[in-house]
Amino acid sequence: MCHRIILIFALSYLMALSLYGQSKSSPVYLYDEASVEERVKDVLSRLTLQEKIDLIHAQSKFSSKGVPRLGIPENWLSDGPFGVRPENLWDKWGSAGWTNDACTALPPLTCLAATWNPELAYNYGKVLGEEARYRNKNVILGPGVNMFRTPVNGRNFEYMGEDPYLASKMVVPYIRGVQESKVAACVKHFALNNQETHRSKINVIVDDRTLYEIYLPAFKAAVLEGGVWSVMASYNRYKGQFCCHNEYLINNILKGEWGFDGVVVSDWGGTKDTMQAIRNGLDLEFGTGTDGMLMDSDNPYDAYFMANPYKNLIEDGVVGTEELDDKVRRVLRMIFRTNMAKDRPFGSFVSEEHFKTCYDIAKEGVVLLKNEGLLPLNASDYKTILVVGDNASRTLSNAGGSSMLKPAKEVLTLDAIRKYVGDKAEVKYARGYQAYMPGYEPDNLDLLRQEAVEEAKNADVVIYVGGLNRWSYQDCEGRDRLGYELPFQQDALIAGLLEANPNTVLMLHGGTSFSMPWRDKAKSIVYAMYGGSENGSVLSDVLFGEINPSGRLPFTMAEYLDDYPSHALGIYDPDNKEDVVYEEGLYIGYRWMNEKDIKPMYPFGFGLTYTGFEWGEPSISSNRLKSVQEVVLPDSDSEAKARDSKKIKIRIPVTNIGEMRGAEVVQLYVRDVEAYLPRPEKELKRFCKLWLEPGETGIAEFELQEDDLRFFDPQKHAWVSEKGEFEIMLGSSSEDIRETLKLILV
């Protein structure tokens, strides 16, 4: 019945149009029939030059014009990667003071990466997309996937660690989850934005092979597998050109080799030149005249590089409109995929389901680094429990730069511990230290430390909650850290607490690595990441055994800053505003540690558990894999399918031999025994997280195919594999290899 009415209406509507001489050349689309491309083409054909120019640059801090005359809505963009940022003023870096924009604060992306659980990445994106949709934002400015190259980078916490394969596997489901709500994810910062100091000045110099094997894979996966609808170009230069209009990165690779059909958005203030913006693939200009953080200039939007200056070049006949039409087509495509999507959902905001997802992610992201019998605690065993640390009583998700949030909820760890313990024991608190900006050291630090150490002597157990926070010069955008050690004189405090009471549990927040000179004296160390809205609940539940930690480090925690190549080679220089040469090439993170035989404090992929696992005998379906001809980017579907038939299967049983349900993360690394180009000793190519009940045996299963064995040959500009022997290593971290199998590529 319902369909017949629509049909009658449609016929009468068409007849009415023909009666009134509707021109045959302008088809009328029935809403459900026209494809996005048809609708884009139709609208493009109707636009004036001014309307086209209006579509490709900002009209406010976070929005760009639509076409009211044709019913095309505006674009509304919002940070950030972990939640929908509180509403900004129209044209200033300030809060609009709304009272209905407090969101679900999700854990930062190093925490998500530390779960090694792609399903959680999808759930993460789903929450983020639903909240952005509900807040009427059609672009969410995340995820960030820049590689962890130096531990002092202020934004490591916003990214997914040091390994391109892990980041690639976690970024795809995140994007799919977001875009299900008809919100565009915006993978960033494309590319080579691996430090904050002088981020908008430095010129990164890196060889092609390293670019393709280390710094691009997560972006490539976002485009080719995630189908991301927008990409944010980064502030820095590459090959001497600003990345916001970089011919090599945007025209040749992103839109050329990968066939990206979405929108390239500038970082805020990253656009520097009209002609380059026209020619080199920038589609949407934002924040010109600002530094993306605080500095603003009274820069009228018509003065943007791609506003009147562009229009004047067209009107003066200096440039044509071919590039403009391509930019407009992409912006319209994003609008039809999002705000004008025919099945656009309503979204949802700050729901119990969203908080539950936040908890589940934080729960699987916490990493147990050390435990000599102290954890999990039984609250009834103690009369006095002392909690120490500024981070125990501080909201952490409300800072960090553009990723800052106004959390509708953030459970503080001290509150959660008090709630869990109830009247089983007395819970006391000593701040121990106070956070401060460099150069503004408060004069009460010694007193705070002495008080906490004294209290520790009289407590049965001490729970220290410290680490970094999200202030400038810590885990925060715009500045790098000033050193590798923990800030706010925590090393002295931690040493004092461990001396005063050996039953001290260290729970350290952060999204990057830092030194731990006291770690041999500590019985239990938990890398607490940042848990967002459920931060305290998760840490308390880890402490008292409601959660069995299952996180694995997505980055290497080396003993010293100089254990990292960017420092060992003297490359990182906070005063350098010019060329930054990535001399270490492929060898970042565990690749470097293996190459230089450096034993890190806690290796990539490391994490302990409250239970225990036994690994059985591995098996391999065949150890001979047929290679195929070289494939030049991008892989076409047919080649990929053809290659599917050449997979080998690897399996290994894992048994939970402990008393608690827990998860093992079996990691598969590959080594090319002989290659005509140097290759790292091992590279992560698969992983499998197995949750097992006590006594249960599960099977970690992997399928490897030929292109997992490839490397990028810059001379051929192609991914190639080389016949011969490979080693397949199965490990529970990059340093703890349990089994090695041989594979021959024929």
Residues found near ligand GLC in the complex (CB under 6 A): 79-80, 141, 188, 267-268, 292-293, 402
For residue 51, what are the β-bridge partners?
none
Scanning 468-584, the segments in alpha helix (DSSP H) are 490-500, 535-543, 565-568
The residue annotated as part of the active site, out of 54, 79, 163, 267, is 267
Three-point CA angle 456, 362, 448, nearest 5°? 25
Task: Note whether 59 and 312 are within 8 A (CB).
Answer: no
Closest CB to ligand GLC among residues 143, 487: 143
Q: Which is nearer to ligand GLC, 69 or 92 (CB)?
A: 92
> Please, are residues 107 and 366 in contact by the beta-carbon 8 Å criterion?
no
Question: Between 293 and 430, whose beta carbon lies closer to ligand GLC?
Answer: 293
Q: How far is the CB of 337 from ligand GLC (least distance, A)?
A: 20
In the bound state with ligand GLC, the residue whose beta carbon lies nearer, of 141 and 670, is 141
Q: Which two tokens stand for residue 314?
A: 């067209």
Of the two residues 188 and 567, which places its CB atom closer to ligand GLC in the complex?
Answer: 188
Sign of torsion, CA 41 45 51 54? positive
CA dihedral 130, 131, 134, 135 (to 10 degrees): -150
Single-letter residue type at 626: K
| Residue of closest CB approach to ligand GLC | 292
Q: How many CB atoms lie under 10 A from the CB of residue 258? A: 18
Least CB distance to ligand GLC at residue 198 (A): 14
Q: How far is the CB of 523 from ligand GLC (least distance, A)?
A: 39
| Cβ-contact 688, 666 below 8 angstroms | yes
For the chain, counts of helices (H) and of strands (E): 19, 27
CA distance 215 to 222: 13
Q: Between 244 and 608, whose beta carbon lies closer to ligand GLC?
A: 244
Cα separation, 126 vs 357, in Å, equals 10
| Length of the chain as a residue count | 746
Strand pairing of 683-692 and 624-625?
unpaired
Residue with Cβ nearer ligand GLC (142 or 589): 142
Nearer to ligand GLC, 187 or 328 (CB): 187
In the numeric block, the tokens 């980041």 are attached to: 167
CA distances for 4 relative to 9, 11, 13, angstroms: 9, 11, 14
Paired with 690 in beta bridges are: 664
For residue 632, the minimal CB distance to ligand GLC (Å) is 32
Buried b (16+ CB within 10 A) or exposed e, 168-199: bbbbbbbbbbbbebbbbbbbbbbbbbbbbbbb
d(CA 609, CA 296) in angstroms, rounded, equals 48
**Packed helices 352-365 and 118-134: angle between N→C axes, nearest 10 degrees:** 150
CB 136 → ligand GLC: shortest distance, Å?
18
Question: In whole angstroms, how close is the CB of 185 to ligand GLC at the nearest point?
Answer: 12
Nearest CB to ligand GLC, comparing residues 402 and 550: 402
Tokens of 50: 């001014």
Inter-residue contact 192 to 567 (CB < 8 Å): no
| Rounded distance between C-alpha atoms, residue 103 and residue 311, angstroms | 39
Output the smallest distance, CB 196 to ligand GLC, in A. 9
Of residues 126 and 155, the one with the C-beta less far from ligand GLC: 155
Residue 80 Cβ, how far from ligand GLC at the closest point, in Å?
Answer: 6
CB contact at 8 A, 671 and 730? no
Q: How far is the CB of 478 from ligand GLC (least distance, A)?
A: 8
Q: Token digits for 389?
A: 């640390």
CA distance 498 to 287: 48
Between 111 and 516, CB nearer to ligand GLC: 111
Other CB atoms within a 10 A radius of the CB of residue 584 amount to 22
Least CB distance to ligand GLC at residue 79 (A)? 5
Distance CA 162, CA 152 (A): 13
* Residue type present at position 375: L
CB of 275 to ligand GLC, least distance (A): 24
Measuring CA to CA, which residue among 550, 474, 735, 484 is closest to residue 114?
Answer: 550
Bond from prior residue into 612 cis (ω within 30 degrees of 0):
no
Cβ nearer to ligand GLC, comparing 154 with 432: 154
d(CA 667, CA 731): 5
Radius of gyration of the chain (CA): 27
For the CB of residue 77, give the shortest distance to ligand GLC in the complex, in Å: 8
Beta bridge partners of 727: 671, 742
Half-sphere exposure of 301 (CA within 13 A, CB side): 20
| E-assigned strand segments in 399-451 | 426-430
Residue 267 designated active-site: yes
Q: Token digits for 3?
A: 């369909």
Q: How far is the CB of 57 from ligand GLC (least distance, A)?
A: 15
Q: Which two tokens stand for residue 431?
A: 């701040």
Q: Which is nearer to ligand GLC, 402 or 537 (CB)?
A: 402
What residues act catalytically?
A: 267
